[in-house]
Structures are given as structure tokens and as C-alpha cells.
Amino acid sequence: MGACKPPTTIPFFLPLLPSVLLLLLLHLPARSESKVLELSDRFLPMRKEGMWLIKFYAPWCGHCKKLEPVFKHVGQSLAHEPALRVGRIDCTRFASAAAEFGIRGYPTIML
């Protein structure tokens, strides 16, 4: 498969995302167990139930692999927040989910 390709348009919040993730890492206590849920296409009907922070990834993507420990830590840090759930979707297995959200490159993180 090819290299990770960047999205063709940059969402307005993308430049702020590293700062937000860093603040979350610095100010929220970490827990020992990961709270990053492995999602499937069955997630689509319930996506509007509450607030989600979702990472769309491909297992072969080098950038996704580098982001994994950071995203796992974010999931641990947000474990005490019942209103916000953290999950990830393998877009190579669940292409319908990637299409539904308009994913064009990996990794993509959406709130």
C-alpha cells in the first residue's frame, strides 16, 4: 500500500489540535488502563450519542503508528470524563465508516 496521504483540505481546528492534545496530556491525571475503544462500522448509528474523540487510522500508516502512544495516553487521561468517549477506527477494515466521515488521509482525529 502507499504512503499516508494528507487531506486535501485542512479543517479550521487542525492547527489547534496539537496544542489541545498537549494541554490534555499535561493537566489531566493518567490512569493505568486504556480507554480508547476499538470501533467498527456498528459505531455509525450511535455516533451522535454523546461526544466522541475519534482517530481514523490505517495499520500500515507510519504516522498512525507514531501517534498511537500519544492517543492512548489521551484516552487514559480522559477516562474520568463520562461525557467524552475516545475511540479509534481501522479504516482499512471499515471503509464505510471512513466514507461516512469523509476521511481522505491518515491519521485523522475528529471531535
What are the tens digits of pLDDT across the range 3-25? Answer: 566 555 555 555 666 666 655 55
pTM, rounded to two decimals: 0.69
Catalytic one among 64, 74, 89, 98? 64
> Is residue 19 domain-resident?
no
**Mean pLDDT in residue range 58-85:** 90
> 87-107: per-residue pLDDT in tens?
999 999 999 999 988 999 999
Structural domain contains residue 62: yes
> Considering the domain boundaries, does residue 103 fall inside one?
yes
| SS3 state of residue 87 | strand
Answer whether residue 62 shows pLDDT above 50: yes
pLDDT of residue 31: 47
Give pLDDT tens digits for 20-48: 665 555 555 544 456 898 988 888 877 78
- 4 tagged catalytic: no
Q: What is the largest CA-CA distance in the chain?
A: 38
Closest residue by Cα to residue 52 from 74, 83, 100, 85: 85
The catalytically annotated residue of 21, 39, 53, 61 is 61
The C-alpha cell at 90 is 481501522
Q: Which domain holds residue 41?
A: 36-110
Sign of CA dihedral 76, 27, 59, 107: positive
Q: Is 44 within a domain?
A: yes
The answer to whether residue 91 is catalytic is no
The per-residue pLDDT for 64 is 92
User: In total, how many domains does the chain have?
Assistant: 1
* Cα dihedral 1/21/31/42 (nearest 10): -50
- The arithmetic mean of pLDDT across residues 58-75, rounded, is 92
